[in-house]
Amino acid sequence: MQLTLWTYEGPPHVGAMRVATAMRDVHYVLHAPQGDTYADLLFTMIERRDQRPPVTYTTFQARDLGGDTAELFKTTVRDAVTRHQPAALLVGASCTAELIQDDPGGLAATLQLPLPVIPLELPAYQRKENWGAAETLYRLVRGLAGLPPAQYVRPPRPAERAPRANILGPMALGFRHRDDLREVRELLALLGIEVNVVAPLDAHAADLARIPEADFNVVMYPELAGTLADWLARQWQQPRTRQVPIGLGATADFITELATLAGVDPAPALQRIDARARWFARSVDSTYLTGKRVFIFGDACHAVAAARVAAREIGFTVAGLGTYSREQARELREAAALYGVEPLITDDYLEVERHIAALQPDLVLGTQMERHIAKRLGLPCAVISAPVHVQDFPARHAPQMGLEGANVMFDAWVLPLMMGLEEHLLAMFRDDFEFSPQAAPSHLGATAPSSSNLGASAPAPLPAPAPASNEPSWAVEAERELHKIPFFVRGKARRNTERFARDRGVALITVETLYDAKAHFSA
Amino acid sequence: MNGPAPVFQLLPESVLRERGQREVFCGLTGIVWLHRKMQDAFFLVVGSRTCAHLLQSAAGVMIFAEPRFGTAILDERDLAGLADAHDEIDRVVADLLARRPDIRTLFLVGSCPSEVIKLDLARAAERLNGRVTPGVRVLNYSGSGIETTFTQGEDACLAALVAELPRAAADAPPSLLVAGALPDVVEDQLSRLLSAIGIPAVHFLPARRRGELPAVGPSTRLLLAQPFLADTARALSARGARHLPAPFPFGIEGTTAWLEAAAAAFGIGPEVVERVTRPARERAQAALARHRPLLAGKRVFFFPDSQLEVPLARFLSRELGMALVEVGTPYLHRQHLAPELAWLPAGTQLSEGQDVDRQLDRCRAAQPDLVVCGLGLANPLEAEGLTTKWSIELVFTPVHGYEQAGDLAGLFARPLDRRQRLAA
DSSP string, B275-306: HHHHHHHHHHHHHHHHHHHHHTT-EEEEPSSS
* Mean pLDDT in residue range A249-256: 97
Task: Report d(CA B320, CA B328) in Å as an integer.
Answer: 19
pLDDT digits (tens, 9 = 90+) for B201-231: 999 999 999 999 999 999 999 999 999 999 9
Write out the H or E segment, with its range, that includes residue B372: strand B370-373
pLDDT category of residue A461 using cuts at 50, 70 and 90: very low
Is residue B26 annotated as involved in ligand binding?
yes
Closest CA to A327 of A176, A177, A226, A217: A226
pLDDT digits (tens, 9 = 90+) for A468-489: 456 889 999 998 888 877 777 7
- What is the DSSP secondary-structure string of B11-68? -GGGEEEE-S-----BGGGGHHHHHHHSTTEEEEEEE-HHHHHHHHHHHGGGGGS--S
Predicted TM-score of the model (pTM): 0.91
Cβ contact A59–B113 (<8 Å): no
What pLDDT, on the 0 to 100 scale, is given for residue A431?
Answer: 60
Which residue in A285, A411, A432, A503 is the catalytic one? A285
Cβ contact B92–A60 (<8 Å): no
Please answer whether residues A5 and A67 qualify as being in contact, where contact means their C-beta atoms are separated by less than 8 angstroms. no
Q: Mark whether A362 is an active-site residue.
A: no
What pLDDT, on the 0 to 100 scale, is given for residue A272?
Answer: 84
Helix then strand then coil, in percent of chain A rounded to 5, is 50, 15, 40
Contact of B50 with chain A, judged by CB distance below 8 Å, is answered with yes
Question: Which portions of chain B are predicted below pLDDT 50?
Answer: 1
Cβ contact B21–A76 (<8 Å): yes
Find how far residue B413's CA is from the centre of its chain.
22
What pLDDT, on the 0 to 100 scale, is given for residue A456?
Answer: 36
Mean pLDDT rounded to a whole number for chain A: 90
* Residue type for position B206: P
Backbone angles phi, psi at A134, to 5 degrees: -65, -45
In this predicted structure, the answer to whether residue A439 has a pLDDT above a threshold of 60 is no
In this predicted structure, the answer to whether residue A237 has a pLDDT above a threshold of 60 is yes
Contact of B94 with chain A, judged by CB distance below 8 Å, is answered with no
In this predicted structure, the answer to whether residue A462 has a pLDDT above a threshold of 80 is no
Query: A456: which residues sit within 8 A by CB, 6+ positions away?
Result: none
Contact of A14 with chain B, judged by CB distance below 8 Å, is answered with yes
- What is the DSSP secondary-structure string of A245-300? -BSHHHHHHHHHHHHHHHT---HHHHHT---HHHHHHHSGGGGGGTT-EEEEEESH
In this predicted structure, the answer to whether residue A450 has a pLDDT above a threshold of 80 is no
Q: A390: which chain B residues are within 8 Å (Cβ-Cβ)? A: none
pLDDT digits (tens, 9 = 90+) for A492-508: 888 889 999 999 989 99
What pLDDT, on the 0 to 100 scale, is given for residue A248?
Answer: 96
What pLDDT, on the 0 to 100 scale, is given for residue A441?
Answer: 55
pLDDT category of residue A423 using cuts at 50, 70 and 90: low
pLDDT category of residue A221 using cuts at 50, 70 and 90: very high
pLDDT digits (tens, 9 = 90+) for A147-175: 999 999 999 999 899 999 999 999 999 99
Q: For residue A59, give the chain B residue with the closest CA.
A: B21
Of B61, B63, B375, Cβ closest to residue A5: B63
Cβ contact B376–A461 (<8 Å): no
In this predicted structure, the answer to whether residue A284 has a pLDDT above a threshold of 80 is yes
Contact of A128 with chain B, judged by CB distance below 8 Å, is answered with yes
* β-bridge partners, B138: B106
